[in-house]
């Protein structure tokens, strides 16, 4: 690679990185300014776009700093550690998924790609948009198992979502009385149960199949559609997870631990803000909000997530102030953004290509 091309590669990465980091900071500053105007009983939405931007960059940094200094630094630091641990547990789970296909990605490289994916999650739709970048880098890691590498990202996310939905459903059991009194929480719980059933069915169909047994000509039909051979290879790659011994038990175990640590991040922040919230309430509401904000509705779930926390945490049986619920959500998001900035730095210096250690296969000319 020539020196000019190297400089160009570094320059465009830094430019993209700077633009996206600006977007991330603007988003959080806009939320902080919105909070200030709401507290003063003025409608932020009545401002022009230019006035909103001015308020964001005038009030946002000051308000964010004020909020951060108000939080007990020990609990804030613990919440940031919890966020980092969830990323590391996610790396462990993904490497376990990769090994099903004989792909052995070094932990350091998997962590690099996961941090970059976390960075892109901060501005793509939903809280799973970074998986597109993760799939892109996974495909570049291998010569002849590109399809399988991409499928591992899908399988990893599917297991993660299913485990979080299952976690939320399990936590409903000790909170039955609260669900009876809190109609909004009960409605969200109903959505979670529906999503759990749908996601469980998708896991079963993806890992064990069954469609072609009911409709024997389904595979022949699939081969005739555009990119049918690739789709069939994706299905075969998914079936490998269902055949792998102890795979689902091990990945669900890692996922459940990851979910618990994720909620502990909010528990630490609630303690740091001196909120009157029991850990049990957070173990119920946080997984619910995470699952729904993962839907590709807004960038990084921004706005949807904050409104859900205000709706759920200010209702009967919980009853904290709306500003407290919003502060909790924004602080957790700020912690995620700090780790996103780490991912941005990694992305700016990410080397173009490493290779997975691939075992027992020969290169496929088609790939």
The reported pLDDT for the residue numbered 231 is: 72
Determine the Cα–Cα distance for residues 91 and 26; give it in Å rounded to an integer.
Answer: 29
Determine the Cα–Cα distance for residues 120 and 344; give it in Å rounded to an integer.
Answer: 8
pLDDT tens string 296-324: 666 666 667 878 888 899 888 898 877 78
User: Number of C-alpha atoms within 13 angstroms, CB side, residue 6?
Assistant: 5
Helix ranges (H only) for 122-246 are 131-140, 146-170, 176-181, 183-208, 211-214, 218-224, 228-243
Q: What angle do CA 109, 113, 116 make, to 5 degrees?
A: 140
pLDDT tens string 161-220: 999 999 999 999 999 999 999 999 999 999 999 999 999 999 998 898 766 655 656 555
Composition of the chain by helix, strand, coil, percent to 5:
75, 0, 20
Looking up tokens 């631990």, which residue turns up?
257
Determine the Cα–Cα distance for residues 226 and 211; give it in Å rounded to an integer.
Answer: 19
Structure-block tokens of residue 318: 């919980």
The reported pLDDT for the residue numbered 99 is: 93
What residue ranges of the chain have pLDDT lower than 70?
Answer: 1-3, 6, 9-10, 12-14, 16-21, 23-25, 27-28, 41-42, 67-68, 123-129, 210-229, 296-303, 350-367
Q: For residue 208, give Cα distances in angstroms to 148, 195, 240, 241, 303.
A: 16, 19, 9, 8, 37
Q: For residue 216, give Cα distances in angstroms to 77, 172, 210, 213, 281.
A: 56, 40, 10, 6, 48
Bridge partners, residue 222, by sequence: none
The reported pLDDT for the residue numbered 141 is: 82
Would the pTM of this model clear 0.85, i.e. be above it?
no
Domain ranges in the chain are: 71-358
User: Number of C-alpha atoms within 13 angstroms, CB side, residue 172?
Assistant: 19
Q: Tally Cβ neighbours within 10 Å of residue 72.
A: 14
């Amino acid at each position: 690679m020539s020196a000019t091309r190297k400089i160009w590669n570094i320059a465009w990465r830094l430019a993209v990185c700077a633009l996206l980091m600006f977007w991330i900071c603007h988003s959080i500053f806009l939320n902080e300014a919105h909070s200030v105007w709401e507290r003063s009983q003025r409608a932020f939405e009545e401002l022009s776009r230019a006035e909103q931007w001015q308020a964001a960059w005038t009030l946002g940094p000051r308000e964010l700093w004020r909020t951060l200094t108000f939080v007990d630094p020990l609990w804030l630091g613990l919440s940031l550690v919890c966020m980092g641990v969830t990323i590391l547990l996610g790396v462990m789970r993904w490497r376990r998924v990769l090994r099903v296909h004989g792909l052995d990605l070094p932990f350091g490289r998997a962590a690099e790609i996961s941090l970059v994916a976390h960075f892109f999650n901060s501005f793509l739709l939903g809280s799973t948009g970074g998986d597109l970048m993760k799939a892109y880098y996974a495909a570049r890691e291998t010569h002849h198992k590109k399809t399988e590498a991409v499928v591992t990202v899908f399988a990893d996310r599917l297991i993660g979502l299913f485990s979080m939905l299952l976690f939320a459903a399990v936590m409903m059991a000790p909170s039955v009385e609260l669900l009876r009194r809190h109609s909004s929480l009960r409605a969200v719980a109903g959505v979670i149960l529906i999503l759990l059933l749908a996601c469980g069915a998708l896991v079963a169909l993806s890992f064990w199949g069954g469609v072609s047994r009911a409709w024997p000509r389904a595979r022949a039909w699939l081969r005739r559609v555009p990119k049918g051979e690739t789709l069939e290879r994706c299905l075969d790659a998914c079936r490998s997870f269902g055949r792998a011994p102890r795979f689902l038990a091990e990945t669900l175990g890692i996922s459940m631990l990851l979910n618990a640590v994720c909620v502990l991040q909010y528990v630490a922040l609630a303690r740091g803000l001196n909120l009157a919230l029991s850990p049990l309430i957070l173990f119920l509401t946080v997984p619910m909000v995470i699952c729904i904000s993962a839907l590709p509705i807004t960038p990084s779930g921004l706005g949807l997530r904050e409104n859900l926390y205000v709706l759920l945490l200010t209702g009967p049986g919980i009853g904290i102030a709306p500003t407290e619920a919003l502060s909790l959500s924004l602080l957790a998001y700020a912690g995620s953004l700090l780790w996103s900035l780490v991912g941005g730095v990694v992305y700016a210096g990410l080397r173009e290509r490493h290779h997975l250690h691939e075992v027992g296969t020969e290169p496929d000319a088609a790939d």
